A and B are shown apart, each in its own frame.
Chain A
Amino acid sequence: LAKITQPISMDSYEGQEVNITCSHNNIATNDYITWYQQFPSQGPRFIIQGYKTKVTNEVASLFIPADRKSSTLSLPRVSLSDTAVYYCLVGDMEYGNKLVFGAGTILRVKS
């Protein structure tokens, strides 16, 4: 399983763009990169998933360089409600797709 490294915490202000970078040096060929958001006492919520280059949806963008050894989750114009823990996960899309959660990044958005 790929070893994941992401910052323990980040602070931002409302309206700013936030970029959270995740390192996964030993990502395997079949692995996808998935980001989840978790609020206290709730289950994680799927944000975005990608394999390479750039993926964008209505809430975030995911940038993956050609070597795929890192990825960056970009949250445009964050608000106070974006304060949460963000998990970067790398998993095999074949049998099982077992996800191993790391410590995650605590994002604090201030007014």
Chain B
Amino acid sequence: GAVVSQHPSWVICKSGTSVKIECRSLDFQATTMFWYRQFPKQSLMLMATSNEGSKATYEQGVEKDKFLINHASLTLSTLTVTSAHPEDSSFYICSARQNYNQPQHFGDGTRLSIL
């Protein structure tokens, strides 16, 4: 149980393109979803927290207009990287949590490469 699916797993696109990443909780309803990014050989950095039906809460230094997060249902959250540039290339990982006393379960990440 507690499976989180992320799609796509890998994307390459040109600079200036907007890219949408989906995160789905397959066998549970997620009241809260989280988005992280991870650079090579570094740890995960939390970008934002989203609760279903509410606006996402962004961490300091993360541009909310650059990284649009939508959590429209209890099983789906999306991250859109708008007008992506090479410096946005990274490994993006989502996680989902059923309720406050349950651990976060992570997707397998999306490798984003901007040319």
Binding site for B on A (CB under 8 A): 34, 36, 41-46, 49, 87, 93-104
Contacts and interface: CB of A to CB of B under 8 A. Distances in A.
Contacts of B107: 43
Nearest 9 CB-CB pairings of A with B: A43-B106, A101-B44, A101-B43, A43-B93, A44-B106, A43-B108, A43-B109, A46-B103, A43-B107
Given A96-B49, A97-B32, A87 B100 contact: no
A30 to B, nearest CB: 10
B66 to A, nearest CB: 20
Given A41-B91, A104-B43, A95 B104 contact: no
B109 A42 contact: yes
Contact of B6 (A43, A45, A46, A102): A43
Interface residues of B, number: 27
Interface of B: 2, 4, 6, 32, 34, 36, 43-46, 49, 57, 91, 93-95, 97, 100-101, 103-109, 111
B95 A43 contact: yes
6 contacts: A34-B103, A36-B106, A41-B109, A43-B107, A44-B95, A46-B106
B46 A98 contact: yes
